[in-house]
Chain A
Amino acid sequence: DQQVKQNSPSLSVQEGRISILNCDYTNSMFDYFLWYKKYPAEGPTFLISISSIKDKNEDGRFTVFLNKSAKHLSLHIVPSQPGDSAVYFCAASAGGSQGNLIFGKGTKLSVKP
Chain B
Amino acid sequence: ETGVTQTPRHLVMGMTNKKSLKCEQHLGHNAMYWYKQSAKKPLELMFVYSLEERVENNSVPSRFSPECPNSSHLFLHLHTLQPEDSALYLCASSHFRGRSGANVLTFGAGSRLTVL
Residues of A within 8 A of B (CB): 2, 4, 31-32, 34, 36, 41-46, 49, 51, 89, 93, 95-96, 98-106
Contacts and interface: CB of A to CB of B under 8 A. Distances in A.
B102 interface: yes
A2 B99 contact: no
17 contacts: A2-B42, A4-B42, A32-B103, A41-B109, A43-B4, A46-B104, A46-B105, A49-B104, A98-B48, A99-B98, A99-B103, A100-B45, A101-B105, A103-B42, A104-B42, A105-B40, A106-B42
Contact of A34 (B35, B99, B102): B102
A45 B4 CA distance: 11
Nearest to B104: A46
Interface residues of B, number: 30
A99 B96 contact: yes
B99 A100 contact: no
B102 A51 contact: yes
Contacts of B33: 100
Nearest to A5: B42
B76 to A, nearest CB: 15
A13 to B, nearest CB: 22
Contact of B99 (A49, A96, A101): A96
A2 B43 CA distance: 11
A4 B42 CA distance: 9
Contacts of A43: 4, 6, 90, 92, 107-110
Nearest to B94: A99
Contact of B103 (A45, A101, A105): A101
B96 A98 contact: yes
Contact of B56 (A34, A41, A93, A98): A98
Interface string B1-17: 00010100000000000
Given A44-B107, A45-B107, A105-B40, A100 B90 contact: no
